[in-house]
Amino acid sequence: MIASHLLAYFFTELNHDQAQKLSVHIPIVPLLPSPTRSIVPVSPIPTAHLLPPRAPQVDKYLYHMRLSEDTLQEVSERFRKEMEKGLGADTNPTASVKMLPSFVRSTPDGTEDGDFLALDLGGTNFRVLRVKVSDNGLQKVEMESQIYEIHEDLMRGSGMQLFDHIAECLANFMEKLKIKDKKLPLGFTFSFPCHQTKLDESILVNWTKGFKCSSVEGKDVVSLLRKAIKKRGDFDIDIVAVVNDTVGTMMSCGYDDQNCEVGLIVGTGTNACYMEEMRHIDLVEGDEGRMCINMEWGAFGDDGVLNDIRTEFDHEIDMGSLNPGKQL
């Protein structure tokens, strides 16, 4: 919703003369790593052709989505307070921004190596990957991946059906690469709000992004995946870590740039993580060092702190969602 306000503000401030001066240069990059990855320049096009004069009725709707600088500063202050509430042991239960500890205590230093599997679940598609990392002074990374679809009946069916499907796709991927006889370490990216108690244990708090699988909320998703794999009996893996996609993003980018300490996702949902000082985190024991915090900022406003800037469109979309009042 905040993003729509910012875009509306930009377009309502942009006058016709400014539009004539604008041009575009669009990098087109495939989503997945590819030896044919390239950047394709697009000839500049005056956006005056793309932005015809607006009808008064359009301005009428955009007006309510504009936020003043003072309002944006106020929203920023509300957000900071929610972050502080989320980090406090006593205030966390009532915080909308949960600031969940990830138990990831450091970022990559570039010396990592090995052969790994990864699962990335966070939307209507999920990926299975094999990643080879070599520390030979060149920080070489080789990656093979396959995207699998999750149909709506699986998104709203039972948890057992979902994890059986994930295990089947993992088996299919390993069969294609002829590695079912290897016991490789696996990292599980599970991009939903979870209460994490250790690096390989993560309890789903609630589903988002259109998922509504039964018998998963309140359960450890790593245990559910292990059970589905064991039930098959045709391969074995070592699930060493479960992380949110923001954490995975930060860690993968941090491998190339050790200054990276923030992960940001804008996709089916939006979220961020960052490295926080342990002395500021009341949710886990210890004051030394740092830990990555999964903010779960998509829930900002669930407690009503943004009601004064929500529009009729926000309410209409919310009422048609699977979880009204959540993740607006």
Which residues does the annotation mark as catalytic?
209, 245
Please name the residue that has the structure tokens 């921004």.
97
Counting Cβ atoms within 10 Å, is residue 16 exposed (0-12), middle (13-18) or buried (19+)? exposed
Q: Is the dihedral of CA 166, 230, 220, 323 positive or negative?
A: positive
DSSP at 112: -
SS (H, E, C) 140-172: EEEEEEEEEECCHHHHCCEHHHHHHHHHHHHHH
Instruction: Give alpha helix (H) positions in the chain.
Output: 2-13, 16-21, 56-63, 69-87, 152-155, 159-176, 221-232, 245-256, 312-319
Q: Which two three-digit tokens encode residue 145?
A: 């991946």
Please name the residue that has the structure tokens 């669009």.
26
Beta-carbon contacts of residue 204 (< 8 Å; ≥ 6 apart)? 190, 192, 193, 194, 216, 217, 218, 219, 221
End-to-end CA distance of the chain, in Å? 7
Say how far apart CA 269 and CA 208 lie, in whole Å. 8
Say how far apart CA 243 and CA 53 lie, in whole Å. 47
Say how far apart CA 27 and CA 38 lie, in whole Å. 8
